[in-house]
């Protein structure tokens, strides 16, 4: 017999109508099931707690270091003045949050500069001067931005809190770090204050970009989870010492994928004292001021370059003939000022990128700007050397 002989019969069976079935109904519970439920309900009681094994040395160390570092980690809220276009009233509202840490016993807090940057639909509008800083005890104090480096994405805040409440974080070294050693990150991801994550140093000597077209060298790569809100927070070694400031993550989705980057503490220890003392890394005095990029775009449609808004006549810019815009008594534009398109052969995108260039490059005695003036691009040379005083001749 072959399988073919069964095919016609099979086809007939498949073609026959199936007998009608009654609608499906939930089976009635047997009396024994109800009795079991009632019986077992009587045994409802809290479970006995199993004894906990001793914490490992690694766990005890992490707990200890977190407790020691927590008072040094703060919650930073950037505050920006917003004007109601209808009433002209100005109110101050939070525009961004992040993390910071207490640098010294004089009330200085360090964070990332991008934490205090005001953005609108992903575009940088400007920076805030005022912040609110919440300490680990939950108390909030006013702070002011007193120092900023665009090149290194670092800002220093002066916090007006009792100095006794400010607990400086212990400082370590980044020059002797090793790939594989354990690290801890503390921050405020998604607003969840004082969140601890652990990991290892995944790599050293990385280069990471900033929002100001600069590159930070010798960055630390770690797999400790960092997310939006961790920016400006400390990266600690197993001894609880600061070895870096968490700054960036490598994730297209904006959430952690186990690749985070921190500015090394050796860079912080070099830059932060200069920012506290001077406010900025010492740029050359050129004698001009520029309009904010966002304002220039809104008023004049300028998307690249810097509009010169003021020029000190007794300065390199004044002596070179750089022109500032002029407005009438009602604030309306009379004459457009020079637009700085390039500096030393490199394009100028915005004020942050320009300041970063000045921080990283020691300027020559004479610098050259590409300037848009009256519809033409010309070169303007600024002599930064101090002019010699004319000697008087007695007669």
Catalytic amino acids? 114, 153, 231
Cα 374 from Cα 116, distance rounded (Å) = 36
Cα(225)–Cα(202) distance, integer angstroms: 12
| Gap between the Cα atoms of 75 and 67, Å rounded | 16
Contact 174, 236 (CB under 8 A): no
Alpha carbon 194 to its chain's center: 17
3-state secondary structure 105-127: CCCEEEEEHHHHEEEECCEEEEE
- The number of residues in the chain equals 395
**Residue 172 exposed, middle or buried by CB count within 10 Å (0-12, 13-18, 19+):** buried
Tell me how far the alpha carbon of residue 376 is from its chain's centroid.
38
The number of angstroms, rounded, from the C-alpha of 213 to the middle of its chain's C-alpha atoms is 15
> CB under 8 Å to 56, separation ≥6 — which residues?
none
In angstroms, the CA 355 to CA 376 distance is: 25
Distance CA 146, CA 109 (A): 10
CA–CA gap between residue 283 and residue 291 (Å, rounded): 18
Q: Is residue 320 left, alpha or beta, with left meaning phi > 0 and alpha meaning psi from -120 to 50?
A: alpha
What gap in Å lies between CA 136 and CA 66, rounded to an integer?
A: 12
């Amino acid at each position: 017999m072959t399988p073919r002989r069964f095919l016609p019969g099979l086809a007939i069976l498949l073609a026959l109508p199936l007998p009608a079935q009654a609608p499906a109904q939930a089976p009635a519970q047997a009396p024994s099931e109800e009795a079991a439920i009632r019986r077992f309900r009587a045994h409802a009681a809290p479970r006995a707690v199993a004894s906990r094994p001793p914490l490992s040395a690694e766990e005890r160390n992490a707990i200890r270091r977190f407790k020691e570092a927590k008072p040094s980690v703060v919650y930073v809220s950037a505050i920006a003045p917003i004007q109601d276009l209808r009433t002209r009233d100005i109110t101050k509202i939070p525009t961004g949050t992040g993390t910071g840490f207490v640098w010294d016993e004089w009330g200085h807090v360090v964070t990332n500069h991008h934490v205090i940057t005001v953005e609108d639909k992903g575009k940088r509008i400007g920076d805030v001067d005022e912040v609110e800083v919440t300490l680990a005890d939950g108390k909030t104090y006013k702070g002011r931005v007193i120092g900023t480096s665009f090149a290194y994405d670092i800002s220093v805040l002066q916090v007006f809190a009792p100095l006794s409440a400010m607990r400086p974080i212990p400082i370590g070294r980044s020059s002797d770090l090793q790939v594989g050693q354990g690290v801890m990150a503390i921050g405020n991801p998604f607003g969840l204050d004082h969140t601890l994550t652990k990991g290892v140093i995944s790599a050293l000597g990385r280069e990471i970009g900033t929002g100001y077209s600069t590159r930070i060298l010798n960055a630390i790569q770690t797999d400790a989870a960092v997310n939006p809100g961790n920016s400006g927070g400390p990266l600690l070694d197993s001894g609880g010492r600061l070895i870096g400031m968490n700054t960036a993550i490598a994730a297209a989705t904006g959430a952690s994928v186990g690749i985070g980057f921190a500015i090394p503490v050796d860079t912080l220890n070099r830059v932060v004292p200069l920012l506290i003392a001077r406010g900025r890394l010492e740029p050359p005095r050129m004698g001009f001021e520029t309009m904010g990029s966002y304002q220039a775009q809104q008023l004049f449609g300028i998307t690249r370059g810097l509009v010169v808004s003021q020029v000190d006549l007794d300065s390199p810019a004044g002596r070179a003939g750089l022109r500032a815009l002029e407005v009438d008594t009602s604030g309306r534009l009379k004459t457009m000022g020079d637009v700085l398109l390039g500096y030393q052969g490199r394009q100028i995108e915005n004020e942050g990128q320009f300041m970063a260039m000045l921080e990283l490059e020691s300027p020559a005695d004479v610098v050259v700007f590409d300037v848009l003036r009256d519809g033409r691009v010309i070169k303007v040379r600024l002599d930064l050397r101090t002019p010699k005083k004319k000697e008087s001749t007695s007669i």
